[in-house]
Amino acid sequence: MKVGLFVPCYIDQFYPGVAIATYELLKKLGCDVGFPMDQTCCGQPMANSGFSGLSKACDKNFVNNFSGFDYIVAPSGSCVLHVREHLNEGASPAEIDRIRNSVYELTEFLIDILKVTRLKASFPHRVGMHISCHGQRGLHLSSMSELVDPGFSKPEQLLNMVDGLELLKPARVDECCGFGGTFCVFEEAVSVKMGKDRIQEHLRNDVEFITGGDTSCLMHLEGILKRQGSGVKAIHLAEILNSNL
Amino acid sequence: MSIKTHAEAAQEFIRDEPRTDWHDETLWFVRQKRDKSVHTLPEWELLRDWASRIKNHTLSNLDHYLKSFENNAIANGIKIHWASDAEEHNRIIYKIIADNKVCKIVKSKSMLTEECHLNEYLKDRGINTLDTDLGEYIVQLRKEAPSHIVLPAIHLKRQDVSETFHEHLNTEKGNYDPQYLAASARHHLRERFIEADLAITGVNFAVAESGSFVVCTNEGNADMGVHSANIHVACMGIEKLIPKTEHLGVFLRLLARSATGQPITTYSSHFYKPRPGQQMHIVIVDNGRSRQLGRADFRNSLKCIRCAACFNTCPVYRRSGGHSYHSTVAGPIGSILNPNLDMKANSDLPFASTLCGSCSNVCPVKIDIHDQLWKWRQVVVANGYVGKAKKAGMHGAAWILSNPRIYRISGKIGRWVMRTFPFIINHPLNVWYKQREMPKAPELSFRDWFKVNQ
């Protein structure tokens, strides 16, 4: 099984630890992991800002880098969702379709494809769960509080395999953190207020860490936590799942 | 005076943080009531699916159902008027008022008349219209616009209402008791109902097969007005149609649960024909709706039944208030409807969202609101309604991210600058930095690490 590791641009630049954890985790679970060196960005920042026309070159670059893999896996629900919904350029429609359907967010890849049921991971801490919207409502990684349907959660399923981890949920289990891509600067006031409110709920649970599947949400929450001088840390799911493995 | 963008107005709204928290929690409470009530119905998702299909079918056959509705309504003795836009809608109503030489007008909540700015139109012609829905009544006294389509005065605390009533209704100063305040309003409104000559209502559902229509209220104010006045004018957008009476069994169950968590609105009033001596008019309004119907990506926004569930769930709406959307219909649904009415003036609205998708999930008729927000962003930008700085930034980002080599070099330089001269990045002009720390810039990117450690 050839797995292409898709490392979103801002993770590559600012959170290499998240990508390293993802890489190591996949390797340890027996995947043949490749990292195409010329990958950059999925094009989401432009497309979500109304400039989908400007993301065509990113599409082509993505296709060039990832067309040789059985699966493409990224530690980011948001970027995966973008590729799955909006990748359009760079290959025949059939190949585009194949790539769109072979791109996976890390937790869904672990649960649905690798069918992981046990992990040798240990993380003896109080951890708050931040559900990222694109992973949840976009990729259906977990059930949604708005819908009347059976409850499930792929990220939680994995976190429950981690020794010593105490998972705590905020009162509003799946409210958005306010990052929202360029929303975080063009609607700065609302964005920060949303983030502060999420953090407040986690603090009420006395958590040590806030985790989630999207580094973008975590980067935003981390920025606010640090400004508040809080000792609570943001940590990506992959880093927890890879701990002590 | 130029209208503030959503971001500017939201920033002002949030300046009063305790009040923002109160606004957020009040509306979240409504969302929770909605959740509680929908979770008692195992068939909830099925109902949403049916409602969506009925509306899709109706919109696809709108010409047929409009004609059928008109014919049946006329046969019932109702007078039908067609208005292509807001101006014509207002003109028609003014003519009915003038022809009948009446002046005492009560109105129950109709977002369409708000959309058409009927009150202002009539006022310019010397006619005062009284809004009788309690929330609308309050905002009318304050000369404000509704901030929510179901809860028009949700932005106001009872203290605000008390002050307004003290000023206009001479209630006791400093008496914040909601019951006292509601009773005072009720007393004033009763007198106006009794003397009303003409009652204007909205329409929640117009049934094609019977030519009848349904108006849903919790206060009974539509009925009060209609039963007391000799002329009833009901205003509806062309999208209010449903084919059959039995479809009400789907929509009435969805509407109130989605709006407030009630199993059904307190009053669901069915109007079939005028009573003896009464005139009944229906004004059917297009005002841009057929244009929206022609937009393949956005046509199904016309399925909306105005429950406002998307308002209550929207984390942005709850923290920015309805007025920040500078439109009659605020919230996520407003952000996909309003660009159709005036793209330039509303070009900011599709961006007033994180695209979290909660709106689409609560929508009782399954409008893909957040996907349409994304699509409107593309349309707005393609039409040139985008700031120069944003445009330049996007072109710059696209250039860097399209070239692997340039991306790598820029990343390296960028991180080095952040580490070496943090003050270049960490200053107030960096919007991110205003209330958030920047991420730490590591020496090695993942790519660098991979080259060494693979």
Do A103 and A167 fall into the same domain?
A: no
Phi, psi (degrees; rounded to nearest 5) at B254: -75, -40
Nearest neighbour of B398 by CB, restricted to A15, A46, A193: A46
Nearest neighbour of A52 by CB, restricted to B21, B378, B415: B378
Chain B residues closer than 8 Å to A176 by CB? 315, 354, 356, 358
Do B12 and B72 fall into the same domain?
A: no
Do A35 and A56 fall into the same domain?
A: yes
Q: What is the pLDDT of residues B314-340, one digit of tens each?
A: 999 999 999 999 999 999 999 999 999
Do B145 and B220 fall into the same domain?
A: yes
What is the domain count for chain B? 3
Give the chain B residue whose CA is nearest to the CA of A49: B377
Parallel, antiparallel, or unpaired for β B105-107 and B129-131? parallel
Do B181 and B230 fall into the same domain?
A: yes
H/E element, B13: helix B6-15
Do A192 and A237 fall into the same domain?
A: yes
Chain A residues closer than 8 Å to B44 by CB? 148
Q: For residue B414, is it within any domain?
A: yes
pLDDT greater than 80 at residue B135 = yes
Do A42 and A100 fall into the same domain?
A: yes
Q: What is the pLDDT of residues A119-165, one digit of tens each?
A: 999 999 999 999 999 999 999 999 999 999 999 999 999 999 999 99
CA distance A122 to chain B (A): 24
Optimal mutation site among A27, A52, A146, A235, interface B, most CBs of chain B within 10 A: A146
Nearest to A49 by CA among B385, B166, B317: B385
Residue count (chain A): 245
CA distance A178 to chain B (A): 6
Domain boundary among B386, B417, B432: B386
Q: For residue A78, is it within any domain?
A: yes
Report how many helices (DSSP H) and strands (DSSP E) chain A contains, helices first: 13, 8
Do A168 and A234 fall into the same domain?
A: yes
Nearest neighbour of A14 by CB, restricted to B319, B442, B447: B442
pLDDT greater than 90 at residue B1 = no
A-B CB pairs within 8 A amount to 206
> What mean pLDDT, rounded, does chain B reach?
96
**Alpha-carbon distances of A115 from A26, A84, A108, A119, B155, rounded to whole Å:** 13, 21, 9, 11, 49
Do A158 and A84 fall into the same domain?
A: no
Given the cut 0.95, state whether the ipTM is greater than it. yes
Optimal mutation site among A27, A185, A190, A200, interface B, most CBs of chain B within 10 A: A190
Q: For residue B350, is it within any domain?
A: yes
Do B379 and B396 fall into the same domain?
A: no
**Alpha-carbon distances of B29 from A193, B32, B194, B283, B395, rounded to whole Å:** 18, 5, 36, 36, 42
Residue B125 banded pLDDT, cuts 50, 70, 90: very high
Listed in sequence order, the residues at least 6 apart from B338 whose beta carbon sits closer than 8 Å to its beta carbon are B325, B327, B329, B345, B346, B349
Domain boundary among A61, A84, A113: A113
Nearest neighbour of A13 by CB, restricted to B6, B315, B445: B445
Q: For residue B242, is it within any domain?
A: yes
Helix/strand/coil for A122: strand
Parallel, antiparallel, or unpaired for β B212-217 and B129-131? unpaired
pLDDT greater than 90 at residue B2 = no
Listed in sequence order, the residues at least 6 apart from B138 whose beta carbon sits closer than 8 Å to its beta carbon are B152, B153, B156, B161, B164, B185
Do B382 and B398 fall into the same domain?
A: no
Nearest to B24 by CA among A204, A134, A196, A182: A196
CB within 8 Å: A138 and B395: no
Q: For residue B292, is it within any domain?
A: no
Do B75 and B154 fall into the same domain?
A: yes
| Residue-wise DSSP of B222-269 | HHHHHHHSSEEEEEEEGGGEES-GGGHHHHHHHHHHHHTS-SS-SEEE
Q: For residue A183, is it within any domain?
A: yes
CB within 8 Å: A148 and B438: no
Do A135 and A168 fall into the same domain?
A: yes
Relative orientation angle of helices B369-382 and B331-341, to the nearest 10 degrees = 30
CB within 8 Å: A46 and B436: no
Q: For residue A40, is it within any domain?
A: yes
Q: For residue A121, is it within any domain?
A: no
Do B107 and B159 fall into the same domain?
A: yes
CA distance A14 to chain B (A): 6
What's residue B424's pLDDT? Answer: 87
Chain B residues closer than 8 Å to A55 by CB? 398
Q: For residue A120, is it within any domain?
A: no
What's residue B429's pLDDT? Answer: 87
What's residue B3's pLDDT? Answer: 87
Give the chain A residue whose CA is nearest to the CA of B33: A146
Q: What is the pLDDT of residues B294-305, one digit of tens each?
A: 999 999 999 999
Nearest neighbour of A50 by CB, restricted to B17, B378, B407: B378
Helix/strand/coil for A167: strand
Do B371 and B448 fall into the same domain?
A: no
Q: What is the pLDDT of residues B72-117, one digit of tens each?
A: 999 999 999 999 999 999 999 999 999 999 999 999 989 999 999 9
Domain boundary among B356, B386, B416: B386
Q: For residue B240, is it within any domain?
A: yes
Do A61 and A108 fall into the same domain?
A: yes
Residue B205 banded pLDDT, cuts 50, 70, 90: very high
User: Measured between alpha carbons, how far is A75 from A11 in angstroms, rounded to an integer?
Assistant: 9
Domain boundary among A113, A142, A162: A113
CA distance B355 to chain A (A): 7
The 3-state DSSP composition of chain A as helix, strand, coil percent (nearest 5) reads 50, 15, 40
Do B120 and B203 fall into the same domain?
A: yes
Give the chain A residue whose CA is nearest to the CA of B394: A46
User: Measured between alpha carbons, how far is B298 from B294 in angstroms, rounded to an integer?
Assistant: 8
User: Measured between alpha carbons, how far is A6 from A37 in angstroms, rounded to an integer?
Assistant: 10
Chain B residues closer than 8 Å to A15 by CB? 439
Chain A residues closer than 8 Å to B339 by CB? none
Q: Please report, rounded to a whole number, the percentage of residues in chain B having pLDDT higher than 90.
A: 97
Average pLDDT over residues B309-316: 98
Phi, psi (degrees; rounded to nearest 5) at B298: -120, 0
Nearest neighbour of A226 by CB, restricted to B316, B356, B437: B437
CATH of the domain at B87: 3.40.50.10420
Do A174 and A195 fall into the same domain?
A: yes
Average pLDDT over residues B34-50: 97
Chain B residues closer than 8 Å to A31 by CB? none
Q: For residue A133, is it within any domain?
A: yes
Chain B residues closer than 8 Å to A184 by CB? 432
What is the domain count for chain A? 2
Q: For residue B8, is it within any domain?
A: yes
Residue B427 banded pLDDT, cuts 50, 70, 90: confident
Phi, psi (degrees; rounded to nearest 5) at B48: -60, -40
Do B59 and B186 fall into the same domain?
A: yes
Chain B residues closer than 8 Å to A16 by CB? 442, 444-446, 448-449
Residue B428 banded pLDDT, cuts 50, 70, 90: confident
Q: For residue B29, is it within any domain?
A: no
Do A18 and A108 fall into the same domain?
A: yes
- Domain boundaries, position A109: 2-113
Residue B195 banded pLDDT, cuts 50, 70, 90: very high
Do B143 and B170 fall into the same domain?
A: yes
Q: For residue A50, is it within any domain?
A: yes
Specify the amino acid at residue B217: T
CB within 8 Å: A176 and B354: yes
What's residue B386's pLDDT? Answer: 94
Residue B454 banded pLDDT, cuts 50, 70, 90: confident
Domain boundary among B255, B287, B319: B287
Q: For residue B441, is it within any domain?
A: yes
Q: For residue A119, is it within any domain?
A: no
Do B106 and B140 fall into the same domain?
A: yes
Do A188 and A105 fall into the same domain?
A: no
Average pLDDT over residues B375-391: 96
Q: What is the pLDDT of residues B337-362, one digit of tens each?
A: 999 999 999 999 999 999 999 999 99
CATH of the domain at A216: 3.40.50
Do A132 and A234 fall into the same domain?
A: yes
What's residue B109's pLDDT? Answer: 84
- Domain boundaries, position B323: 1-18+304-386
CB within 8 Å: A16 and B14: no
Q: What residue ranges of chain A have pLDDT lower than 70?
A: 245
With 0-12 / 13-18 / 19 or more C-beta atoms within 10 angstroms meaning exposed / middle / buried, residue B294 is exposed
Domain boundary among A83, A113, A143: A113
